[in-house]
Structure 1
Amino acid sequence: AARNFNATVVISLLQPSPEVFELFDDVLLMNEGSIMFHGKREEAVPYFEQMGFHCPPRKDVADFLLDLGTNKQDAYIVGSNVPCQSAEFANRFRESSIFQKTLKRLESPVEEPLLVPDVTPFRLSFFEDVANLLRRQMMLTSRDTTYLMGRAVMNIVMGLLYGSTFWQMDDSNSQLILGLLFSCAMFLSLSQASQVPTFIEARSVFYKQRGANFFRSSAYVLAMSLSQIPMAIVETVVFGAITYWFGGYVALADRFIVFLVSLFLCQMWFTSYFFFLSSVSPNLTVAQPVMMVSVLFFMLFGGFLITKDNIPDYLIWLFWIDPLAWCIRALSINQYLAPKFDVCVYEGIDYCTTYSETIGEYSLGVFNLPTESMWIWYGWIYLFAGYFVFVFGSYLVLEYKRYESPENVAVVENDDDGEASADLTAYSQMPATPKGVHDHEKVIEIQDVDDVMGGVPTISVPVKPSGRGISLPIALAFENLWYSVPMPGGKKDEEIDLLKGVSGFALPGTMTALMGSSGAGKTTLMDVIAGRKTGGKIQGKILLNGHPANDLAIRRCTGYCEQMDIHSDSATVREALIFSAMLRQDANISTAQKMESVEECIELLELGPIADKIIRGSSTEQMKRVTIGVELVAQPSIIFMDEPTSGLDARSAKLIMNGVRKIADSGRTIVCTIHQPSTEVFNLFDSLLLLRRGGRMVFFGELGEDSKNLIDYFEAFPDVKPITPGYNPATWMLECIGAGVGGGHAEAGAQPMDFAERFIVSDQKVLMEEDLDQEGVLHPSSHLPELKFETKRASNPRVQFQFLCLRFFRMYWRTPTYNLTRLFISVLLGCVFGVIYQSTDYSTYTGANAGVGLIFVSTVFLGIISFNSVMPVAADERTAFYRERASETYNALWYFVAGTLVEIPYIFFSSLLFCIIFYPSVGFTGYITFFYYWIVVSMNALLFVYFGQLMVYALPSVAVASTLGALFSGIFMLFAGFNPPAGSIPTGYMWVHWISPPTYTIAMLVSLVFADCSEGSTDGISCKSLQNAPPTIGDMTLKEYVEETFDMKHSDIWRNAMIMVILIVVFRVLALVSLRYINHLKR
């Protein structure tokens, strides 16, 4: 591309292979912020050789350059007076002729053809930008069929639920009429909040493309806004039509059109608001709490939960800026000023005589709404103007503010500047253990007596003794392995083979590499051998010391270092190692010995300087060492490693693999997949299993000194081009086989041949079969008994429970973003409700409804916040749980119990903070009642937290759990008994009312406060007569109104409490079943 398009290309690389390095024209070598060299690639090595360094044969040039200026450069020094620090290299370079030539070139005038002509910032006009962006956004939306289907189903289902629940409601009951209007506006408007994560995710793409002047910010914002209109129209028409006609509103076309237009404008206002919120928020973590708090304010000041006359004067401005209030005002006036309600006598009551108003005007006056039709236009104008205000605000934010930060920034410190640098220095100086047998090493021999007598040499494995608790040496063998999975998109019984007859072995004290081209099946093979596959069909033999391997034996005697470095990242490094040692080492090993093994592991992997630091925030290289340490400290006999050098630079990769070499020399069997290792790293391995695409074997055997055996094998084929001096054998062999069929380095004119077929008829395969066909490898040996474990897990239940509880409580204490946030929200909500409701008179009709609405909103809102907050935390821990469960670290029961207990103190404390502020501020009284109120609020929060955990455990992702949770929350709110009141819910839906958890929480809280009036008593707010009630209500006390209208009775408190406890238990049992039997980690 650089040559064909005459383009300037600048690339930074972590581990450039020789063939990639040779593609570059210039090299810029940096260390600690200083330029050590910048010039032609061919000049780099001669430049440093003149300085007194020598690049050894078979050493990758890129690796050689990366080692300069570090503690590893001593191996290349051949001269005197060589620089050591990066600053010294930089000074030498500034004095060099190469740098002087660069300066001279920069100072010379630029040639005419290289001058960049003046161009406009954007290639297309504004309207062309808008058209292209709109077309792209509509295409992306149309392709997201899951999202479209989800929104369509949600709209239809909720429309049918709302419409059928409020089916042909009583026109004279203004609470029902306004209740459905409020619900319609709330659902359509606030459902747009689900797009905030999508908006934030798309913002990163916008930053990249806007930075390259693909388009104007204004065009992007306008296109995004216009793209929302078609969906909003469809949703408004479908949902609005169902609820309008099912609910029995005025059957006039003009009223129906006003209804739809009002809902559409309100929905577009909220769409633009959430888009603005996603533009101005630095990330989703900030956007979600702001969104939730703003939604609360929109609900409270919408004019239904608390009417205008009950809002304090100093907060009335919130009522006037609330879009829901404008929408509900327009919808209410549209209904009650219809000819049907412009009458005096309605259902036998003369409203003009009694109240000097028509029934329509009276019904609007009950909720303190105006009676002039002009307010419909005012509402439309406000919503329309607000839409454009937020669109323009989004443009300003996106144009002038960027939430971009550099990724993977390394903090550079001098070698003597502290523990972190000392860690790197010490680790970099750790020498690679020679692969030869030394005097102080013992030799494990796996031999067949008959073979020895016949003169066949035994397999000798060098093993360096460990100080404590050395694991039993185990030889791993596999023969004729086939692995098949169903063909994607194929017939029911059609399968595809990913592994085809793979055989091999790995011995104690050795490192075996699994390599091949992309898609060859390296990780698949390792997952099959390690027993980590969750699907597909496996055929063939897997043996441990010659005995058939069962699933438990593999899980107990092996460790698996995953590529993604999954940990409970709130633990310290030492705590993670102790957790693994205590739970995965055998129960008969003393605690002191286990702790000694932890310290030995820390010393071996040079984790001391970071041992007491929290894992969260560790560098990639440190995380790799922690991953290896967690598996190593479990004292496994076999360790599997999946791409341990991925994401590391060449130096860090060498450091990690040096540590792995030391582990192998301690007597363990190492099996490792690796992709394009450097020559140094490749030479650390003892054996290689090479696969071609399609899962077929190309080579298996010992590599030999400097990979001599491998090179000799491939160079024996006449059509293979010999390796050139200094070339990486790992890269060369992959180029030899190409994608698995001869090519790459084949001689010109030669007939390409399948290297898998060549291996089948080669002497190398015969040697492999001879090595396999021995006692202790492929056959049982009398000297090596079969691995058997009496228990499924190494540790006993008490230890599992103890350490899981300890980890969970530490994790919660060290996760302030979760716990401090909910404490803050509890205090904030208590203050907000207290300020708004402090002067509310609950003895009036609107005051009583506001009081029940207050309990409803506060309870449901606290529950939903608890539900949404716990899901990310539970999901993060779930990934670590899957890894630990695969190695039988602990029983899912004790993980479940610990996760259950840790929430209780935090929930009860945060609920106490809320109640201390909320309860007296809103005018509730009574110490005993306060205590019960606190207990019920705590149980409600606990129920929603456990419900959130259940969703995470049972469903594949947080996104799916959130979507399904939103649906359940909508249903819970609808049938909780407030809107519509329990007494007005159709008989056919009462079963939904009875299974809705908030039903019992709200009923208990409302009856505690508003229905606590013993017979004949006149004390307390519950015993007061209801004032300003509509004539359809009649004369009754507050207790009678609450019990008759909302079916919330004081006598049912203990029954409701027992049902809540049962629901909590049901959610926990389902969570335990999900943890035990559902695994969303597919391999």
Structure 2
Amino acid sequence: MFCVGEMLTGPATALFMDEISTGLDSSSTFQIVKFMRHLVHVMNETVMISLLQPPPETYNLFDDIILLSEGYIVYHGPRENILEFFESVGFRCPDRKGVADFLQEVTSKKDQQQYWYLDQEQYHYVSVPDFAERFKSFHACQQMQKELQIPFEKSKTHPAALTTKKYGLSSWESLKAVMSREQLLMKRNSFIYIFKVTVLIILAFVSMTVFLRTKMPHGQIADGTKFFGALTFGLITIMFNGFAELQLTIKKLPVFYKHRDFLFFPAWTFGVANILLKVPISLVESVVWVVLTYYVMGFAPAAGRFFRQFIAFFATHQMAMALFRFLGAVLKTMVVANTFGMFVLLIIFIFGGFVIRRNDIKPWWIWGYWASPMMYSQNAISINEFLASRWAIPNNDTTIDAPTVGKAILKSKGLFTEEWGFWLSIGALIGFIILFNSLYLWALTYLSPSSGSNALVSEGEDDVNEIALKERSRDARSEDEISQVVYGDLGTNGATNTLVQSRVTLPFQPLSLCFNHVNYYVDMPAEMKEQGFTESRLQLLSDISGAFRPGVLTALVGVSGAGKTTLMDVLAGRKTSGAIEGDITLSGYPKKQETFARISGYCEQTDIHSPNVTVFESITYSAWLRLSSDIDDGTKKMFVEEVMALVELDVLCDALVGLPGVSGLSTEQRKRLTIAVELVANPSIIFMDEPTSGLDARAAAIVMRTVRNTVNTGRTVVCTIHQPSIDIFESFDELLLLKRGGQVIYAGELGRHSHKLVEYFEAIPGVQKITEGYNPATWALEVSSPLSEARLNMNFAEIYANSVLYRKNQELIKELSVPSPDYQDLSFPTKYSQNFYNQCAANFWKQYRSYWKNPPYNAMRYLMTFLFGL
């Protein structure tokens, strides 16, 4: 939503929108696309939108459709003619099938045959290139080609369409706008800067106790060593305090690259804004350090010396921040930047004049000494101290040719011995500041964002499917039987998936989860208190009751902010703050989080996985730590293989997981891996948070096949879901529908073609009837929206609470809340599945595999070690 608004607030007349519906409910997606349709027709703009799972009502808003598959344009033309084209080839969309879902599946070899409707002709696979070739002879394509052959009449172009300036604002206005935004971001991230200053204060107090004034005599050459150490410690502290700029810069780069490439502002304005706004930070940190340490440590008491030390530390801090800003802009990734940044910092430190004196550096390395910014900082602060009047005592050490003790100390350290050396060093530091900031601006202007590679699979998709079928035929079952089970209908009305049931080798205890009158409160946010809310607590869930049963797939549905994920987190025991009220039972016994965590799985929406291990290793690691210790390794390995087959990842077992959106597995494959990692723990109950979010219709169907296979093993599975297609929505057995505010408005069976859901809402006076072919999920959200409640002057939560369905559900909850004689309360002899030794072995194995598969990191470490040794 934010990105859409960001791009609309401008003069652009051509908008390209990629997957704008991800994370939104179907009703919100419909409203956004409807607005864009009005914008196109009224303002005469050009809009192209790619969507993953558009519901029928959203799909029908488009004028033209481009169907892209395997790099080919299969169809490009009016929406009204697309089904006609596929029927001319021999494929027809079923009645209760979303057209968008049909279009994404009809070009797939795995899904194509079910749509063949020419009974008089035998089905034959039509490849994507064949579709593209046949489209060339279709009337919509020929009409489009005729239109494109006619030259565009330039006189019809309005002069306002011409762009005369590269940026919307002048350079000065752009700089002010960017500075205002960066200042706001710094204010909202003030904790970082407060924390840095706090750390600096702590280190200052530590150094003050170590280098206390009463323990710091002066006047002798030997006394200078302690002062020199105190100065160097302060210098290192200031240098390292600028290291945080590296991470801060890298985190800003993705948004910066987007704004730069869309010509929001010149790149230099972003860089200059960051440079200028960090000057006060350097000022504060330098003042804090010098004010706290200078007189307590007993440095030269003259006021001029005090301010000159402040200038030296301020210039050093600015130089360090400029250096790390530049490194962050060039290296762009956190791991490489941290590694190389530390390497640069240590190199600067080695040649800074403290570890090795200038006189001891070999001639072929002396350039490193003169190129080290720390050397000039070391000279500035040392000259400022040791050329003070209290060190102007005659030198009695004949081994050092210097008239005073102060100059003798400086000469013994290989530093400058005259006052001009201070200003020379300050000038050099200013030169480094200008150099690093200039390189930073250059990097922002000319370097491109980091790009990654996608997962590589040795076989093509079709070959992968054939391999998968052959793997599943190892049990002497026919391919037809396997296809019926693994690739069959997602609906719940077909036969039970007996194949999956028979292949599961590890027993588990089917469990039901009941919750009655559950409420959840959090502390009232400060922002809401400022707006006039007087309550001390904010209620997110209100009197929610329901039951999840074995072998029943339940959907948690609601508009954004209805509390779907919150409810699932409360039931799963993942909420560590706030107050929870109500009863939660597990097969009749009160739920205990210590044991519940052992028999439950939770598939997060974010798909968090270690990037540098393979699919097989990720699942094996989970099985190693979460399966019971009395299961032998052979059985565990067999179970891992069967879980991979269940989620259709067996052909990707050796693929690296990678980073989301950068490398490795696709989004859909990562979703299936998330399910596999939880399923391999052999749980009785699995929670899945939006398993189809961010997937196209076909990928979502693959994930839902995995979910259905999991349910058919007798497990209890609950999923939150945002934009389900008709097929996906009706693959669920039961529905728990929430309205904004965390209130239940429907809980019960869906029925065939969602008839029970439809009958319930249509029985409410004033509710609009569902139209033919309309998505029941979208319809239910629309008729129960706050706007609909206001129009009908009713509260759907109250209607449900007074309904026969509610009383029926309460009876079911009461029945399931009584312990069955066949079940005993869960108990385990140990807190963890594995003992300490096995836990260490599993983690060592995973870390070893992760490092082994991360050559850039290892190469950088070896290179650093080699260069340090050199």
TM tier, smaller: 0.7 to 0.9
The CA deviation string for residues 442-487 of structure 1, in whole angstroms up to 9 with x for no partner, is 9xxxxxxxxxxxxxxxxxxxx9655634433333333222333333
- Alignment pair present for 1:265 and 2:315: yes
Contact (CA 8 Å) 1:83, 1:89: kept in 2 or not?
A: no
* In 2, Cα distance between equivalents of 1:482 and 1:756: 15
Question: 1:300 Cα deviation (Å)?
Answer: 1.9
SS in 2 for 1:543: strand
* In 1, Cα distance between equivalents of 2:606 and 2:209: 49
Alignment of 1:787-936 (within 5 A): 787-794=826-833, 803-816=842-855, 821-831=860-870
SS in 1 for 2:300: coil
Partner of 1:191: 241
Farther off after superposition, 529-538 or 705-714: 529-538
SS in 2 for 1:10: strand
Partner of 1:360: 406
Query: How many residues align structurally?
Result: 799
- Alignment pair present for 1:664 and 2:707: no
Question: 1:680 Cα deviation (Å)?
Answer: 0.6
Look up the equivalent residue of 2:432 and give its one-letter code: G
Question: 1:650 Cα deviation (Å)?
Answer: 1.0
- Alignment pair present for 1:637 and 2:678: no
Partner of 1:64: 102
- Two-structure CA RMSD over aligned residues (Å): 3.5
Partner of 1:487: 524
Look up the equivalent residue of 1:124 and give its one-letter code: L
Q: What TM-score do the two structures reach when normalised by structure 1?
A: 0.68
Question: 1:307 Cα deviation (Å)?
Answer: 1.5
The CA deviation string for residues 684-713 of structure 1, in whole angstroms up to 9 with x for no partner, is 111111111222211111111111111111
- Alignment pair present for 1:521 and 2:567: no
Contact (CA 8 Å) 1:52, 1:82: kept in 2 or not?
A: no
Partner of 1:208: 258
* In 1, Cα distance between equivalents of 2:283 and 2:841: 56
Q: Which one of 75, 83, 90 corresponds to residue 37 of structure 1?
A: 75
* In 2, Cα distance between equivalents of 1:353 and 1:653: 82
Alignment of 1:212-251 (within 5 A): 212-251=262-301
Question: 1:424 Cα deviation (Å)?
Answer: 13
Partner of 2:783: 736
Question: 1:526 Cα deviation (Å)?
Answer: 2.3
Contact (CA 8 Å) 1:59, 1:728: kept in 2 or not?
A: no
Residues 1:342 and 1:476: Cα distance change in structure 2 (over 3 Å): closer
- Alignment pair present for 1:558 and 2:600: yes
Partner of 1:987: none
Partner of 2:674: 627
Partner of 1:512: 554
Farther off after superposition, 311-320 or 482-491: 482-491
Partner of 1:179: 229
Q: Which one of 630, 633, 643 corresponds to residue 601 of structure 1?
A: 643
SS in 2 for 1:505: strand
* In 2, Cα distance between equivalents of 1:321 and 1:593: 62
- Alignment pair present for 1:142 and 2:184: no
* In 2, Cα distance between equivalents of 1:222 and 1:808: 41
Partner of 1:316: 366
Runs of 5+ consecutive residues of structure 1 not aligned to the other structure: 443-462, 832-1083
Partner of 2:806: 765
- Alignment pair present for 1:618 and 2:647: no
* In 2, Cα distance between equivalents of 1:355 and 1:651: 83
Question: 1:258 Cα deviation (Å)?
Answer: 3.0
The CA deviation string for residues 388-407 of structure 1, in whole angstroms up to 9 with x for no partner, is 22222223222222134278
Contact (CA 8 Å) 2:166, 2:263: kept in 1 or not?
A: yes
* In 2, Cα distance between equivalents of 1:773 and 1:293: 65
- Alignment pair present for 1:385 and 2:431: yes
Question: 1:801 Cα deviation (Å)?
Answer: 5.7
Question: 1:581 Cα deviation (Å)?
Answer: 4.4
Alignment of 1:290-689 (within 5 A): 290-344=340-394, 357-405=403-451, 414-417=460-463, 430-432=487-489, 435-436=492-493, 468-489=505-526, 494-581=536-623, 583-586=625-628, 592-616=634-658, 617-689=664-736
Contact (CA 8 Å) 1:52, 1:78: kept in 2 or not?
A: yes
Q: What TM-score do the two structures reach when normalised by structure 2?
A: 0.83
Residues 1:433 and 1:132: Cα distance change in structure 2 (over 3 Å): closer
* In 2, Cα distance between equivalents of 1:515 and 1:235: 51
* In 2, Cα distance between equivalents of 1:808 and 1:15: 38
* In 1, Cα distance between equivalents of 2:60 and 2:866: 62
Farther off after superposition, 507-516 or 36-45: 36-45
Contact (CA 8 Å) 2:400, 2:412: kept in 1 or not?
A: no
Partner of 1:97: 139
* In 2, Cα distance between equivalents of 1:464 and 1:338: 86
Look up the equivalent residue of 1:507 and give its one-letter code: R
Partner of 1:117: 162
Residues 1:9 and 1:411: Cα distance change in structure 2 (over 3 Å): farther
Contact (CA 8 Å) 2:490, 2:728: kept in 1 or not?
A: no
Contact (CA 8 Å) 2:171, 2:269: kept in 1 or not?
A: yes
Contact (CA 8 Å) 2:623, 2:636: kept in 1 or not?
A: yes
Residues 1:437 and 1:360: Cα distance change in structure 2 (over 3 Å): closer
Look up the equivalent residue of 1:377 and give its one-letter code: W
The CA deviation string for residues 526-563 of structure 1, in whole angstroms up to 9 with x for no partner, is 23333333333333333333344433453333333332
Ranked by relative contact order (alpha carbons within 8 Å, sequence separation 6 or more), the top structure is 2
SS in 2 for 1:9: strand
Q: Which one of 108, 130, 137 corresponds to residue 175 of structure 2?
A: 130
Farther off after superposition, 68-77 or 16-25: 16-25
Contact (CA 8 Å) 1:351, 1:358: kept in 2 or not?
A: no
The CA deviation string for residues 150-209 of structure 1, in whole angstroms up to 9 with x for no partner, is 233233333444345434333332223333333333332342121111112222222222
Residues 1:701 and 1:331: Cα distance change in structure 2 (over 3 Å): closer
Q: Which has the larger radius of gyration?
A: 1
Residues 1:424 and 1:40: Cα distance change in structure 2 (over 3 Å): farther
- Alignment pair present for 1:754 and 2:795: yes
The CA deviation string for residues 570-617 of structure 1, in whole angstroms up to 9 with x for no partner, is 554344444544554455555555444334333333332123444442
SS in 1 for 2:381: helix
* In 2, Cα distance between equivalents of 1:438 and 1:215: 60
Alignment of 1:1050-1065 (within 5 A): none
Question: 1:809 Cα deviation (Å)?
Answer: 4.3
Contact (CA 8 Å) 2:455, 2:655: kept in 1 or not?
A: no
Look up the equivalent residue of 2:753 and give its one-letter code: D
Aligned identity (percent) is 36
The CA deviation string for residues 332-387 of structure 1, in whole angstroms up to 9 with x for no partner, is 3333444444453xxxx757999561333323222233333332332233222222
SS in 1 for 2:104: helix
- Alignment pair present for 1:108 and 2:151: yes
Contact (CA 8 Å) 2:336, 2:857: kept in 1 or not?
A: no
Question: 1:729 Cα deviation (Å)?
Answer: 0.8
Contact (CA 8 Å) 2:113, 2:125: kept in 1 or not?
A: no
Question: 1:312 Cα deviation (Å)?
Answer: 0.8
